[in-house]
């Protein structure tokens, strides 16, 4: 053990790890929000509730059907993503030509309803979800103790973020998405079924939120308000990063997680507000966000 700026390495790297974990979730969630905002022009306030649904569906699969964490990582995003597709077809598609405020109100209302339903059936105290056997324990790295599950969350969410970035920025389907974000009318006039692309994009963004929820289940308690706890910070992350940039959402998510972690070490009193202070500063200096393409 050694010290850095008078702080024991265990404390420093422990908080850095916590920051990276939070950053993983910020990145996954703000990535989904950015993708959805790009295609639908809707700020998806249901995102936190969909993240919570991801954790709860994983819990329910394990509790009632004995389906384990690894299977849940695949099944849950598909199931919750499918509910997203239904929401898009039933509601959001009808709001497309209206003021974006309507979409914001609708998704905000849906978030309250979904959270209320889960609170009604599962209470607000939260349910435990065990770390899968293969990822129990951890390694002592000398300067810190690294729990296996946390290392997995960081690596896996980084991988998911990078694969998503690659799919959007470097593939043919991704070029359809980027083009449709810019000029949906013209892309449609080239023969591409843009409304279907929009539906699938929403389903994908919701699936990402649900995937984050599954990964969060063993770390935080599975509780109905877990979504609204994190989503406020995630919106601040999105404001700082700027809407409309995929890499921006990923980088900002991880960076702000780390900033939050370090603040806990050096000035714990500010750790809950540091992200919002940064948000205010960024809004004053670059209103479009660090990576935004203008308003």
Total binding residues toward another protein, as defined by CB under 8 A: 18
CB of 27 to another protein, least distance (A): 21
Taking the least distance from each CB to another protein, the nearer of 127 and 188 is 188
- Show contacts with another protein in window 46-85 (CB under 8 A): none
Tokens of 126: 């939260």
Three-class SS state of 127: strand
Q: How does 157-171 read in b/e, with b if 16+ C-beta sit within 10 Å? A: bbebbeebbeebeee
Structure tokens at 162: 């990078």
Residue 97 in the binding site for another protein (CB under 8 A):
no
Contact stretch for another protein (CB under 8 A) within 135-143, 152-160, 173-181, 217-225:
173-181
**Structural contact between residues 94 and 42, judged by C-beta atoms closer than 8 angstroms:** no
Contacts of 157 (CB under 8 A, 6+ apart): 24, 25, 27, 28, 212, 215
Q: Which residues contact 80 (CB under 8 A, 6 or more apart)?
A: 50, 53, 54, 57, 206, 207, 209, 210, 213
- As given in the structure block, the two tokens for residue 277 are 């202070």
User: Is there binding between residue 191 and another protein (CB under 8 A)?
Assistant: yes
Q: Which is nearer to another protein, 3 or 169 (CB)?
A: 169
Task: Select 3 or 182, whichever has its Cβ closest to another protein.
Answer: 182
Q: Kindly state the smallest distance separating residue 208's Cβ from another protein, in Å.
A: 20
Stretch that binds another protein, among 144-152, 184-192, 228-236, 273-281 (CB under 8 A): 184-192
- Point out which span in 9-17, 112-120, 183-191, 206-214 binds another protein (CB under 8 A): 183-191
Q: Among 18, 57, 35, 65, which Cα is nearest to 212's? A: 57
Residue from 66, 121, 140, 185 that binds another protein (CB under 8 A)? 185
Q: Looking at 74, 134, 186, 281, which residue binds another protein (CB under 8 A)? A: 186
Half-sphere exposure of 224 (CA within 13 A, CB side): 15
Contacting positions for another protein (CB under 8 A): 172, 175-176, 178-179, 181-183, 185-194
């Amino acid at each position: 053990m050694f010290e850095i700026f008078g702080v024991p390495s265990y404390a420093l790297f422990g908080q850095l790890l916590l920051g990276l974990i939070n950053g993983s979730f910020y990145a996954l969630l703000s990535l989904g929000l950015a993708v959805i905002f790009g295609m639908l022009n809707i700020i998806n306030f249901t995102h936190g509730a969909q993240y919570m649904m991801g954790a709860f569906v994983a819990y329910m699969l394990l509790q009632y059907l004995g389906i384990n964490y690894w299977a849940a990582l695949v099944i849950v995003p598909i199931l919750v993503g499918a509910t997203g597709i239904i929401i898009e077809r039933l509601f959001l598609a009808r709001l497309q030509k209206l003021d974006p405020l309507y979409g914001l109100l609708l998704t905000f209302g849906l978030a309250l309803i979904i959270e209320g339903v889960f609170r009604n059936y599962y209470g607000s105290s939260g349910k435990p979800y065990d770390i899968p056997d293969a990822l129990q324990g951890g390694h002592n790295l000398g300067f810190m103790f690294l729990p296996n599950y946390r290392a997995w969350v960081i690596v896996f969410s980084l991988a998911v973020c990078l694969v998503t970035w690659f799919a959007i920025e470097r593939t043919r389907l991704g070029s359809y998405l980027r083009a449709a974000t810019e000029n949906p009318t013209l892309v449609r006039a080239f023969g591409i079924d843009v409304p279907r692309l929009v539906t699938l994009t929403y389903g994908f963004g919701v699936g990402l939120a649900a995937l984050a929820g599954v990964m969060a289940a063993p770390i935080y308690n599975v509780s109905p308000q877990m979504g609204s706890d994190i989503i406020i910070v995630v919106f601040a992350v999105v404001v700082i990063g700027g809407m409309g940039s995929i890499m921006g959402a990923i980088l900002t998510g991880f960076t702000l997680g780390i900033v939050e972690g370090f603040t806990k070490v050096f000035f714990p009193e500010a750790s809950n507000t540091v992200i919002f202070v940064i948000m205010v500063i960024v809004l004053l200096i670059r209103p479009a966000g660090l990576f935004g393409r203008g308003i």
